Amino acid sequence: MKNASIFAVREVDSPYAWFRLSMSLLISMIGGVGLWSVVVTLPAVEADFNVARADASLPYTVTMIGFAVGGILMGRLADRFGIMIPLRFGAVMLALGYFLSAQAASLWQFAALQGVLIGMLGSSASFGPVISDITHWFQRRRGLAVAIGASGSYLAGTVWPPVVQYLVDSQGWRDTHVIIAGICLLTLLPLSTALRQRSPEVAPPAPGVQTGPQSVPETDEISLRGPVVQGLLLLAGLACCVAMAMPQVHIVAYCGDLGYGTARGAEMLSLMLFAGIISRLTFGWIADKIGALRTLMLSSFLQGLSLLLFLPFDGLVSLYFVSALFGLAQGGIVPTYALVVRRVFPAAEAGTRVGLVLSATLLGMALGGWMSGVIYDLTLSYDAAFLNGVAWNLLNLGVAAFLWFQLDRRSPARAMGSA
């Protein structure tokens, strides 16, 4: 009864908000399989359909494009009806997509199912809409809470790759997809019920219920117009994830080319994303202390530096180390975009606007994954692909610095409070 009374207080920064965050993290971890299974199965799909590396990277690219478009659509749906409806719809589409893709007779069928059912209508519901929903339930520790929620995709990247690799090795990639379909359907539908309550920021309070003064934070008065900020955030999100995609998308294939085997590559991807969880939590705490844009610049700089380290170090042990270092460096980038959105735009628009920015990051992953495959096919080496990632990372750092100058440096008192 005591616990029931605690969770009955469903307000911003309440114990219920933290319980809700834990459920959101679990949902995001399970639903995030759509982001990572296609990476692990890339070599198997390449061999099955007898295609080039760039063509085999296409399913990942269309999955990310679909994920990006779906993030906007699901965000608008969540703004209007709450998070539970898009989550349940996404669970059904995700299961259907994995089941049907196991029957694909060609790479193009496989890619279409990945892009539409798994990416756009499935996994997208468990990422952007979940993160935007979290921002409604926290203010004092919003940076940390968003970082925890955003870690769901990395937790998925930590848990799913070794599981999928084991299943592919023992069952084949087609049966693996059928198994994933069953897991998603049986877990995501009941878990979505935990998030049926609408946020106190976007839903009118029930009669007689008082909400605290922090329930509806005010947006900042800024020197840049809202559309300009939105556009710059879209560019930053695209650029950072083109850079991020090189090791995340191709590390499994890269290890296979070096002779270490795809299983070692799957382990490195898992290690990279586990380190990303630590990174996101750490940078979330930092964002609450120094502000979102300073955190963005710091994480972007470290990502570019660690990306360069892949060039001189290609030994097995050193690749494990650099993969972990890359994960520790880049985890703070994406969550900061949601914090900036909540600073500049009204709470009622959070789902759509956060979805837009996170969709840009996904397009960046799609573009970066495809570009790296093309560069590899042209050069038969990943060195130029790593340098391409560094160039895009510099663009992200430049945009972040410009936003910091316009929003934080000109109003330092606001910068800390709005993180």
pLDDT at 400 over 80: yes
Q: What contacts 208, CB < 8 A, 6 or more positions away?
A: none
List, for residues 28-82, the tens digit of each pLDDT value: 999 999 988 988 888 888 888 888 777 887 888 788 788 888 988 898 888 888 8
How far CA 28 is from CA of 8, 285, 363, 397, in Å, comes to 24, 20, 19, 28
Which among 370, 63, 397 has a CA at the least distance from the CA of 245? 370
- Would you state the pLDDT for residue 224? 63
Reported confidence tier of residue 226, pLDDT bands at 50, 70, 90: confident
- Would you state the pLDDT for residue 412? 52
- Would you state the pLDDT for residue 345? 81
- Would you state the pLDDT for residue 81? 86
Where are the chain's structural domains? 14-195+222-417
- Would you state the pLDDT for residue 410? 58
- Would you state the pLDDT for residue 296? 93
pLDDT at 331 over 50: yes
Per-residue pLDDT, averaged over 101-109, amounts to 92
User: With respect to CATH, is domain 14-195+222-417 assigned 1.20.1250.20?
Assistant: yes
- Would you state the pLDDT for residue 419? 43
- Would you state the pLDDT for residue 256? 86
Reported confidence tier of residue 214, pLDDT bands at 50, 70, 90: very low
pLDDT at 216 over 50: no
List, for residues 128-142, the tens digit of each pLDDT value: 889 888 888 888 888
pLDDT at 228 over 80: yes
Reported confidence tier of residue 223, pLDDT bands at 50, 70, 90: low
Q: Which two tokens stand for residue 409?
A: 């440096």
Per-residue pLDDT, averaged over 147-164, amounts to 85
* Average pLDDT over the chain, rounded to an integer: 84
- Would you state the pLDDT for residue 237? 93
Reported confidence tier of residue 111, pLDDT bands at 50, 70, 90: very high
Q: Which residue would you say has higher pLDDT here, 79 or 164? A: 164
Tokens 């299974």 map to which residue? 37
Name the least confident of 54-63, 252-261, 301-310, 327-336: 54-63
Question: Can you give the three-state secondary structure of the chain, one letter per residue?
Answer: CHHHHHHHCCCCCCHHHHHHHHHHHHHHHHHCHHHHHHHHCHHHHHHHHCCCHHHHCHHHHHHHHHHHHHHHHHHHHHHHHCCHHHHHHHHHHHHHHHHHHCCCCCHHHHHHHHHHHHHHCCHHHHCHHHHHHHHHHCCCCHHHHHHHHHHHHHHHHHHHHHHHHHHHHHHCHHHHHHHHHHHHHHHHHHHHHHHCCCCCCCCCCCCCCCCCCCCCCCCCCCCCCHHHHHHHHHHHHHHHHHHHHHHHHHHHHHHHHHCCCHHHHHHHHHHHHHHHHHHHHHHHHHHHHHCHHHHHHHHHHHHHHHHHCCCCCCCHHHHHHHHHHHHHHHCCHHHHHHHHHHHHCCHHHHHHHHHHHHHHHHHHHHHHHHHHHHHHHHHCCCHHHHHHHHHHHHHHHHHHHHHHHHHHHCCHHHHHHCC
Dist CA 231 CA 236 (whole Å):
9
